[in-house]
Amino acid sequence: MFLETTFSKGKAFPAFSVGGKNPDYTGHVKSYRKELWFEVPARRAFVNITGQVRQCLLESKISEGLALVNAMHITASVFINDDESGLHHDYEVWLEKLAPHEPLSDYRHNLTGEDNADAHIKRQVMGREVVVAITNGRLDFGPWEQIFYGEFDGGRRKRVLVKIIGE
């Protein structure tokens, strides 16, 4: 499911000089980037991605910092909550009541030929992104926190971005 990883230890720092030398060292802020790809067959689903984000953190070798995890698509969410199937059912029912998929004609966006106006709304409610503290090389989580990808317009390949900065 992983596709692309970019490591960066930063750029050379030209302003630094000792005794006329510019030592060739490589910067100050460590950064890491990876895209996670998903293809959810159903229109809507919640996928626990905590393990994949944890794997990214291991690869990053960053021990103190912040991790941003965001949907790169605007009909999907990344959020943190409980990994309990009853709750996910409740979210699904509640969101569908709040912004029903049908009738499609209730949404002007669907005049563009899309049928996903409800998905754009559901994603706003559940959120685009989470920012997670990194402490001692670990996701700094409370006891029940789990990261989910929320798909509201599935059936095609979509991405989540993991970007970690720190050192």
Work out whether 47 is an interface residue with its own copies (CB under 8 A): no
Q: Which is nearer to its own copies, 55 or 74 (by Cβ)? A: 74
User: Smallest gap, in angstroms, from Cβ of residue 147 to its own copies?
Assistant: 11
Residues in contact with its own copies, shown as a per-residue x/- string from 100 to 119 under the rule CB under 8 A = -------xxxxxx----x--
Work out whether 48 is an interface residue with its own copies (CB under 8 A): no
Assess contact for 124 and 51: CB atoms under 8 A.
Answer: no
User: Smallest gap, in angstroms, from Cβ of residue 61 to its own copies?
Assistant: 10
Amino acid in the structure at residue 65: G
Long-range pairs, 86-92, Cβ under 8 A, ≥24 = 88/46, 91/46, 91/126, 92/44
Which one, of 131, 33, 119, lies nearest residue 74 by Cα? 119
Beta-bridged to residue 69, according to DSSP, are 130, 162
Interaction residues for its own copies, span 122-161 (CB under 8 A)? 123-133, 135, 140-145, 159, 161
How many whole angstroms separate alpha carbon 83 and alpha carbon 81? 7
Q: What is the DSSP string of 137-167?
A: TEE---TT-EEEEEESS-SSEEEEEEEEEE-
Size of the site for its own copies (CB under 8 A): 77
Mark the segment that binds its own copies (CB under 8 A) among 4-12, 38-46, 52-60: 4-12
Contact pick of 45, 50, 81, 115 for its own copies (by CB under 8 A): 81
Mark the segment that binds its own copies (CB under 8 A) among 37-45, 46-54, 69-77: 69-77
